[in-house]
Amino acid sequence: MFASLRERVGQVLLPGDQFTCEGEKDQATLSLTEVVRREKVVCGPGLRRSADRLEVWKSGVLRFKEPHTFWIESHQKRYVPAKGETVIGIIAIKSGDVFKVDFGGSELASLSYLAFEGATKRNRPNVQVGDLVFAQFLVANQHMEPELVCVDGCGRANGMGVFGEGGLLFTVSLGLCRSLLAPHSPLSAQIQQLFPGEVTVGMNGRVWVKAASQQQTLLISNLLQSAHTLTHTQRHTHFSRLAHTH
Protein backbone atom coordinates (compact mmCIF):
# COMPACT_ATOMS: atom_id res chain seq x y z
CA MET A 1 0.00 0.00 0.00
CA PHE A 2 2.82 2.42 0.95
CA ALA A 3 4.57 1.79 -2.38
CA SER A 4 1.38 2.23 -4.41
CA LEU A 5 0.65 5.51 -2.63
CA ARG A 6 4.16 6.81 -3.31
CA GLU A 7 3.72 6.03 -7.01
CA ARG A 8 0.63 8.26 -7.18
CA VAL A 9 2.11 11.32 -5.42
CA GLY A 10 1.59 14.40 -7.58
CA GLN A 11 -1.33 12.86 -9.48
CA VAL A 12 -4.96 13.95 -9.35
CA LEU A 13 -7.17 11.55 -7.40
CA LEU A 14 -10.97 11.46 -7.22
CA PRO A 15 -13.42 10.45 -4.49
CA GLY A 16 -13.81 6.67 -4.56
CA ASP A 17 -10.21 5.86 -5.50
CA GLN A 18 -8.91 3.12 -3.22
CA PHE A 19 -5.61 1.60 -2.12
CA THR A 20 -5.71 -1.94 -0.76
CA CYS A 21 -3.05 -3.95 0.99
CA GLU A 22 -3.75 -7.23 -0.79
CA GLY A 23 -0.17 -7.45 -2.07
CA GLU A 24 1.24 -7.10 1.42
CA LYS A 25 -1.17 -9.74 2.72
CA ASP A 26 -0.07 -12.22 0.03
CA GLN A 27 3.57 -11.73 0.94
CA ALA A 28 3.42 -11.67 4.72
CA THR A 29 -0.25 -12.23 5.67
CA LEU A 30 -0.43 -8.81 7.31
CA SER A 31 -3.64 -7.09 8.36
CA LEU A 32 -4.19 -3.44 7.44
CA THR A 33 -3.48 -2.45 11.04
CA GLU A 34 -0.15 -4.31 10.94
CA VAL A 35 0.78 -2.77 7.58
CA VAL A 36 -0.03 0.75 8.78
CA ARG A 37 1.87 0.16 12.00
CA ARG A 38 4.96 -1.22 10.25
CA GLU A 39 4.98 1.42 7.54
CA LYS A 40 3.56 4.14 9.81
CA VAL A 41 1.25 5.50 7.12
CA VAL A 42 -0.47 8.67 8.34
CA CYS A 43 -3.67 9.75 6.55
CA GLY A 44 -4.12 13.50 6.24
CA PRO A 45 -7.05 15.53 4.87
CA GLY A 46 -8.86 13.85 1.97
CA LEU A 47 -7.88 10.28 2.92
CA ARG A 48 -9.49 7.83 5.35
CA ARG A 49 -9.17 4.19 6.37
CA SER A 50 -12.01 1.76 5.73
CA ALA A 51 -11.68 -1.95 6.55
CA ASP A 52 -8.65 -3.24 4.59
CA ARG A 53 -8.13 -0.21 2.36
CA LEU A 54 -7.53 3.51 2.21
CA GLU A 55 -10.15 5.61 0.46
CA VAL A 56 -9.99 9.00 -1.21
CA TRP A 57 -12.99 11.14 -0.23
CA LYS A 58 -11.89 14.51 -1.63
CA SER A 59 -10.71 15.29 -5.16
CA GLY A 60 -7.30 16.87 -5.54
CA VAL A 61 -3.57 16.19 -5.85
CA LEU A 62 -1.98 13.54 -3.66
CA ARG A 63 0.86 15.00 -1.58
CA PHE A 64 3.49 13.33 0.58
CA LYS A 65 5.65 14.52 3.46
CA GLU A 66 8.55 12.54 4.84
CA PRO A 67 8.59 10.14 6.43
CA HIS A 68 5.06 8.74 6.09
CA THR A 69 2.29 11.36 5.81
CA PHE A 70 -0.10 11.54 2.84
CA TRP A 71 -2.91 13.99 2.15
CA ILE A 72 -5.05 15.39 -0.67
CA GLU A 73 -4.36 18.98 -1.68
CA SER A 74 -7.52 20.54 -3.06
CA HIS A 75 -8.82 23.99 -3.89
CA GLN A 76 -11.82 23.93 -1.59
CA LYS A 77 -13.07 27.35 -0.50
CA ARG A 78 -14.47 26.61 2.95
CA TYR A 79 -12.03 25.58 5.64
CA VAL A 80 -12.86 22.53 7.76
CA PRO A 81 -11.14 22.71 11.17
CA ALA A 82 -8.73 19.97 12.23
CA LYS A 83 -7.20 19.44 15.65
CA GLY A 84 -3.69 20.85 15.94
CA GLU A 85 -3.92 23.17 12.92
CA THR A 86 -3.11 26.86 13.37
CA VAL A 87 -5.42 29.51 11.95
CA ILE A 88 -5.89 33.26 11.83
CA GLY A 89 -9.15 34.23 13.48
CA ILE A 90 -11.10 37.41 14.16
CA ILE A 91 -12.62 38.04 17.57
CA ALA A 92 -16.33 38.33 16.77
CA ILE A 93 -18.00 38.23 20.19
CA LYS A 94 -16.78 38.83 23.74
CA SER A 95 -19.04 36.99 26.18
CA GLY A 96 -17.94 36.68 29.79
CA ASP A 97 -14.89 34.44 30.04
CA VAL A 98 -15.08 33.22 26.45
CA PHE A 99 -14.37 34.85 23.09
CA LYS A 100 -16.11 33.69 19.92
CA VAL A 101 -13.74 33.58 16.97
CA ASP A 102 -14.55 33.75 13.26
CA PHE A 103 -12.06 31.48 11.50
CA GLY A 104 -13.91 31.26 8.18
CA GLY A 105 -15.71 27.99 8.92
CA SER A 106 -19.39 27.14 9.17
CA GLU A 107 -19.55 28.19 12.83
CA LEU A 108 -17.64 30.26 15.38
CA ALA A 109 -14.97 28.74 17.62
CA SER A 110 -14.63 29.39 21.34
CA LEU A 111 -11.46 30.80 22.90
CA SER A 112 -11.12 31.03 26.68
CA TYR A 113 -9.40 34.06 28.20
CA LEU A 114 -7.24 31.55 30.12
CA ALA A 115 -5.96 30.07 26.83
CA PHE A 116 -3.23 32.75 26.56
CA GLU A 117 0.30 32.58 27.95
CA GLY A 118 0.44 33.99 31.48
CA ALA A 119 -3.32 34.54 31.69
CA THR A 120 -4.98 34.19 35.11
CA LYS A 121 -8.27 35.30 36.65
CA ARG A 122 -6.56 38.48 37.82
CA ASN A 123 -4.31 38.95 34.81
CA ARG A 124 -6.68 38.81 31.85
CA PRO A 125 -5.38 39.29 28.30
CA ASN A 126 -6.25 42.54 26.55
CA VAL A 127 -8.40 41.19 23.74
CA GLN A 128 -11.09 43.22 22.02
CA VAL A 129 -13.76 42.51 19.40
CA GLY A 130 -12.19 42.89 15.96
CA ASP A 131 -8.69 41.82 17.06
CA LEU A 132 -6.81 39.23 15.01
CA VAL A 133 -5.51 36.13 16.76
CA PHE A 134 -3.19 33.38 15.66
CA ALA A 135 -4.44 30.26 17.41
CA GLN A 136 -4.46 26.46 17.34
CA PHE A 137 -7.41 24.07 17.41
CA LEU A 138 -7.62 22.10 20.64
CA VAL A 139 -11.01 20.57 19.78
CA ALA A 140 -12.27 20.08 16.22
CA ASN A 141 -14.83 17.41 15.39
CA GLN A 142 -18.35 17.25 14.03
CA HIS A 143 -19.93 16.55 17.42
CA MET A 144 -18.43 19.40 19.47
CA GLU A 145 -18.00 23.14 19.20
CA PRO A 146 -14.54 24.04 17.83
CA GLU A 147 -12.20 25.27 20.56
CA LEU A 148 -9.06 27.34 20.06
CA VAL A 149 -6.07 28.03 22.29
CA CYS A 150 -3.16 30.46 21.99
CA VAL A 151 -0.65 28.27 23.85
CA ASP A 152 1.16 25.04 23.03
CA GLY A 153 1.26 21.89 25.15
CA CYS A 154 3.79 23.53 27.49
CA GLY A 155 1.67 26.62 28.08
CA ARG A 156 3.88 28.83 25.91
CA ALA A 157 2.59 31.22 23.23
CA ASN A 158 5.12 29.93 20.69
CA GLY A 159 4.18 32.69 18.22
CA MET A 160 0.44 32.54 18.92
CA GLY A 161 -1.75 35.28 20.36
CA VAL A 162 -3.11 38.69 19.36
CA PHE A 163 -1.50 40.41 16.38
CA GLY A 164 0.25 43.74 16.73
CA GLU A 165 -1.01 46.92 15.13
CA GLY A 166 -0.87 47.52 11.40
CA GLY A 167 -0.44 44.93 8.73
CA LEU A 168 -2.89 43.62 6.16
CA LEU A 169 -5.14 40.56 6.33
CA PHE A 170 -6.24 38.85 3.10
CA THR A 171 -7.30 35.43 1.87
CA VAL A 172 -5.74 32.95 -0.56
CA SER A 173 -6.58 29.38 -1.55
CA LEU A 174 -6.17 26.65 1.07
CA GLY A 175 -3.75 24.85 -1.24
CA LEU A 176 -1.52 27.92 -1.45
CA CYS A 177 -1.47 28.20 2.34
CA ARG A 178 -0.19 24.64 2.63
CA SER A 179 2.46 25.40 0.00
CA LEU A 180 3.61 28.46 1.95
CA LEU A 181 3.81 26.45 5.17
CA ALA A 182 5.74 23.58 3.59
CA PRO A 183 9.37 23.19 4.70
CA HIS A 184 11.76 25.12 2.43
CA SER A 185 8.86 26.67 0.50
CA PRO A 186 10.38 28.41 -2.57
CA LEU A 187 7.52 30.93 -2.67
CA SER A 188 8.05 31.95 0.96
CA ALA A 189 11.78 32.29 0.32
CA GLN A 190 11.17 34.49 -2.73
CA ILE A 191 8.81 36.76 -0.80
CA GLN A 192 11.21 37.18 2.13
CA GLN A 193 14.13 37.84 -0.20
CA LEU A 194 12.21 40.45 -2.17
CA PHE A 195 10.35 42.18 0.68
CA PRO A 196 11.59 41.23 4.18
CA GLY A 197 8.83 41.52 6.75
CA GLU A 198 6.37 39.64 8.91
CA VAL A 199 4.23 37.02 7.18
CA THR A 200 1.82 34.84 9.17
CA VAL A 201 -0.05 32.08 7.36
CA GLY A 202 -3.09 30.26 8.72
CA MET A 203 -4.25 26.87 7.51
CA ASN A 204 -7.69 28.44 7.00
CA GLY A 205 -6.66 30.44 3.93
CA ARG A 206 -5.87 33.70 5.72
CA VAL A 207 -2.55 35.50 5.49
CA TRP A 208 -1.37 38.50 7.52
CA VAL A 209 1.48 40.60 6.17
CA LYS A 210 3.39 43.57 7.55
CA ALA A 211 6.30 44.88 5.46
CA ALA A 212 8.49 47.96 5.74
CA SER A 213 5.95 50.17 3.94
CA GLN A 214 2.30 50.06 2.92
CA GLN A 215 3.35 49.81 -0.73
CA GLN A 216 5.45 46.68 -0.06
CA THR A 217 2.65 45.19 2.03
CA LEU A 218 0.20 45.64 -0.84
CA LEU A 219 2.70 44.19 -3.33
CA ILE A 220 3.12 41.05 -1.21
CA SER A 221 -0.65 40.73 -0.99
CA ASN A 222 -1.05 41.02 -4.76
CA LEU A 223 1.79 38.55 -5.40
CA LEU A 224 0.38 35.89 -3.11
CA GLN A 225 -3.20 36.27 -4.31
CA SER A 226 -2.08 35.78 -7.92
CA ALA A 227 0.57 33.11 -7.22
CA HIS A 228 -1.76 30.13 -7.65
CA THR A 229 -2.61 31.24 -11.21
CA LEU A 230 1.04 31.48 -12.31
CA THR A 231 3.37 28.68 -13.35
CA HIS A 232 6.75 28.35 -11.64
CA THR A 233 8.47 29.98 -14.64
CA GLN A 234 6.00 32.87 -14.80
CA ARG A 235 6.34 33.48 -11.08
CA HIS A 236 10.14 33.46 -11.30
CA THR A 237 10.06 35.98 -14.17
CA HIS A 238 7.62 38.21 -12.30
CA PHE A 239 9.69 38.17 -9.11
CA SER A 240 12.89 38.89 -11.05
CA ARG A 241 11.26 41.91 -12.65
CA LEU A 242 10.14 43.24 -9.30
CA ALA A 243 13.60 42.69 -7.78
CA HIS A 244 15.14 44.97 -10.43
CA THR A 245 12.59 47.73 -9.84
CA HIS A 246 12.79 47.82 -6.02
Is the domain of 153 the same as that of 172?
no
Check which CATH number belongs to the domain holding 64 and give it: 2.40.50
Answer whether residue 112 shows pLDDT above 80.
yes
Say what the pLDDT of residue 37 is.
47
Q: What is the pLDDT of residues 51-103, one digit of tens each?
A: 667 788 888 888 887 777 888 877 666 788 988 999 999 999 998 889 999 99
Residue 78 placed within a domain: no
Say what the pLDDT of residue 246 is.
61
Residue 31 placed within a domain: yes
Answer whether residue 26 shows pLDDT above 70.
no
Is the domain of 202 the same as that of 185?
yes
Residue 80 placed within a domain: no
Is the domain of 142 the same as that of 173?
no
Say what the pLDDT of residue 31 is.
45
Say what the pLDDT of residue 77 is.
67
User: Residue 38: helix, strand or coil by DSSP?
Assistant: helix
What's the number of domains the chain is made of? 3
Domain limits for position 34: 2-73
In DSSP notation, 178-244 reads: HHHHSTT-HHHHHHHHHS-EEEEE-TTSEEEEEESSHHHHHHHHHHHHHHTTS-HHHHHHHHHHHHH
Highest mean pLDDT among 19-33, 43-57, 207-221 belongs to: 207-221
Q: Are 233 and 204 in contact (CB under 8 A)?
A: no
Residue 235 placed within a domain: yes
Is the domain of 43 the same as that of 108?
no
pLDDT (mean) for 198-224 = 91
Residues of the chain with pLDDT > 90: what percent? Answer: 31
